Structure 1
Amino acid sequence: MSATGHRKDSEPSTSSSLQGSEPCRHFEFSEIQQATNDFDESLVIGHGGFGKVYRGNIINGSSLVIAAVKRLDSMSSQGAAEFWAEVEMLSKLQHCNLVSLIGYCNYGKEMILVYEYMPNGTLEDHLHNLGTPLSWLERLNICIGASRGLHYLHTGTGIQVGVIHRDVKSSNILLHENWAAKISDFGLSKISQTNRPSTYVKTVVKGTFGYLDPNYYATGKLTRKSDVYAFGVVLLEVLCRKRAVDTTLDEEQWLNLARWAQESIKEGNLKHIIDSDIRDQISPKCLKEFVRIAEKCLHNNPKQRSTMAEVVVSLESVLTSQEKFNNSMQTPRKTIFGRMVNMLPFPFKGENYGISSSSLKLCLSISTYISITATNI
């Protein structure tokens, strides 16, 4: 029984092997009602498999903070198991690329999760719903942030155990005000052993169509490489700006992004599948390497897929290479100017050398020409 005299659902197990901080805060239902203006529909900022998400003002200690309040829908296929899994996972996991859980509320049939507010919403929204003009570098940084979060889940929670997310997708990658990516929604997550790479969890197949590891679907054996496969789909989603599954077509023509992209790559149509908004921003070397990373994530044999640690390192390498490429494209203007100045018939270091009017006119003419030419490079 709760302090208010209302029955609580069974509490999460305290025997978890996860190492971490103290359990998160328990909110009274009245606090949640006040924070969301009694679940005012105008405050709804999202809706998922669990239920609606509201923007609310939560009193946390002595501060009033904006929070995302996720309320279980009575018609949802998820329930107490997913609710307590999320509470248990996020109260003990802390990383800058994982969404933070402030607290929870369970009151009768009400199950509510309170998270840090992510003002830029989901990656899915920006790619598919809002048409946000995300640059290639911005997309790369989002991918790197998400990959770091997954790497931490797989290996960073303790020596003996890790966490398999089981529902990696663009709608579960949230974006902070500085566009930092954070992994969210741990309702389907499972604990796994980290000291044995081949260890798997035998479980009922759950996840999202289009991101689901075919090997996991066929065998029911869930491994960290199942997350890697799903992340490979996200990489293609970011590159192509296409949904994992396009259900707007007739059912027989549904587009499976992973299969479509892999076939296009084999046919040599790589450049044609890239989102046109970023096609001219990607260096050929970086494009080739990024696609190679995605292909390794999507390998049919889970043992041949990359680890998330390898994905992080590879994506960071692509970012470094792209930044070098961008810098090299900005240097021709300075190089041309330097060469032309060296060709002038007099020293040009700012000193007064008694330059003749004809020489000065020549200098100004050359300078103007260089400026116009460099601008069109």
Structure 2
Amino acid sequence: MEGVSKLFRKSAKRAKPSSALPEGLCRQFSLAEIKIATNNFNDELLVGEGGFGRVYKGFIDDCNKTVAIKRLKLKPGQGLVFEDLRTKVVLLCQLRHPNLVPLIGYCIDEGENILVYEFIVNGNLFRKLYYTDHDEHDRLSWKQRLRICIGVVRALHYLHTGVKHTIIHGDMKPANILLNKKWEAKLSDFSRFVSDSTMLDTLGYVDPECRITSGLTDKSDVYSFGVVLFKVVLGKMHQWRLISLAQKGEREWSFNKKIDPYLKGKIAPECFKVYMDIATSCVQNEGKDRPTMNEVEVGLEHALELQESADAASKDGEYYCPIDEYTCNDFWGFASPAIVEYTSSSSLPELEEFLSDSDSLREYI
């Protein structure tokens, strides 16, 4: 790849920039410029691929600026009118938020629809969670993960309420959460918004109401973000199984065997309970039962405060399994209904034996 980079860097320096800056913000690139920036879409510069197209690392402005170039892949009938796409992209270029990846410009030329973003160096959250080395120094700590989630929800809150016309992201997933040098979240990829697509390509993250209405709402982003919250703490469990457990009111301690092993003993019980309550509320089947992004933001900030307070009071920063400790603290709150139900059909000796076996009691609960 180094050889390819050197080769097209030389050709890029010989090219004269011809892009324009409509409205002083959004840059319109020619296809010739894009091809120079990506060495004619060379596969060695490919950094990602998804339902909406391929992403290439590219170099513009005499190779002085590194960018991410997304070559949109639209299905038949999804072709965009120039002015419609241009209007949407100019709108996105005007967005200003510390947790959004800046959109630099676009290219609509010779049948190509291309978006040009600022390049974010540390890749995406998906790869950091699931494809990192086993070295603990390469893993994201619990507080880092919390701060990343808070950054994302702030960006979504801004899109929903901080701009003149609400923008629905529509493709919220770990792969679209990029991380900068300081491991801060940068929400990326507005391909669905730009293309007006109704395709539901990311199974497991899609709002179930969308399958009925085929329309995205702000609560669709809330649902998808809730799935992200579960993935951040629980790891590789398949989304369908994970969300099913949450929607059935699964208790915190039942997630014990599913939590990311790296996080065991590192999450304060109070923080974990608040976090799981937020995540569960986000993935309710009906949008009206889900919180707003503002409410999610407040809840996650509270969870972080609880973790920081617990860490300050802890001698070694280690905790008993948060699920088990929480269960013990409120054990009889969980156990009482089961005991009442059991005693209605059991003799006293059977009840005494039942209560003496904590594993049986927990299984029954």
TM-score by length of 2: 0.71
Deviation at 1:243, TM superposition (A): 5.5
Q: Does 1:71 align with 2:68?
A: no
- C-alpha deviations, 1:297-320, integer Å up to 9, x for none? 112232221100011111111111
User: Does the Cα contact within 8 Å between 1:49 and 1:77 map onto a contact in 2?
Assistant: no
Equivalent position amino acid for 2:157 in 1? H
Distance 1:277 1:86, change over 3 A: farther
Name whichever structure is richer in strand by fraction. Answer: 1
Q: Is the 8 A contact 2:31 2:110 kept in 1?
A: no
Letter in 1 for 2:207: D
C-alpha offsets along residues 66-106 of structure 1, whole Å, 9 cap, x if unaligned?
11111234779965379657624422322111111111122
- Correspondence for 1:288: 273
| Structure 1 unmatched ranges of 5 or more | 1-13, 15-20, 191-200, 246-254, 333-377
Paired letter, 2:226:
G
Structure 2, unpaired ranges of 5+: 1-21, 318-365
Report the Cα distance in structure 2 between the residues aligned to 1:205 and 1:106, rounded to whole angstroms: 22
- Give the letter for the 1:300 counterpart: N
Rounded to whole Å, the distance in 2 between the matches of 1:77 and 1:214 is 25
Give the conservation status (yes or no) of the 8 Å contact 1:237–1:243.
Answer: yes
Aligned residue for 1:188, secondary structure, equals helix
**What corresponds to 2:185 in structure 1?**
181
Q: CA deviation at 1:26?
A: 0.8
The TM-score normalised by the length of structure 1 is: 0.69
Q: CA RMSD in A?
A: 3.0
Partner of 1:17: none
In structure 2, the residue matched to 1:211 is 205
1:120/1:179 contact within 8 Å kept: yes
Report the CA distance between 1:164 and its aligned residue: 1.5
Q: Tell me which structure has the larger Cα radius of gyration.
A: 1
SS at structure 2 position matched to 1:112: strand
1:28: Cα distance to partner? Answer: 2.1
Which structure 2 residues correspond to residues 281-360 of structure 1 after superposition, within 5 A?
281-330=266-315
Structure 2 vs 1, CA of residues 86 and 76 (structure 1 numbering), >3 Å: closer, same or farther? farther
| Displacement after TM superposition at 1:113 (Å) | 1.4
CA distance in 1 between partners of 2:78 and 2:50 (Å) = 10
Work out the CA distance in 2 between the residues paired with 1:79 and 1:100.
Answer: 24
CA 1:77/1:167 → structure 2, altered by over 3 Å: closer, same or farther? farther
Find the counterpart in structure 1 of residue 15 from structure 2: none
Counterpart code for 2:210? Y
In the TM superposition, 1:215-254 aligns within 5 A as: 215-242=209-236, 245=239
Residue 296 of structure 1 and its aligned partner are, at CA, apart by 1.0
State the alpha-carbon separation in 1 of the partners of residues 290 and 264 from structure 2.
27
Distance 1:146 1:273 in 2: 24
* Larger relative helix fraction: 2
Partners of 1:211 and 1:244 within 8 A in 2: no
1:42: how far off?
A: 1.4
Alignment correspondent of 1:114: 116
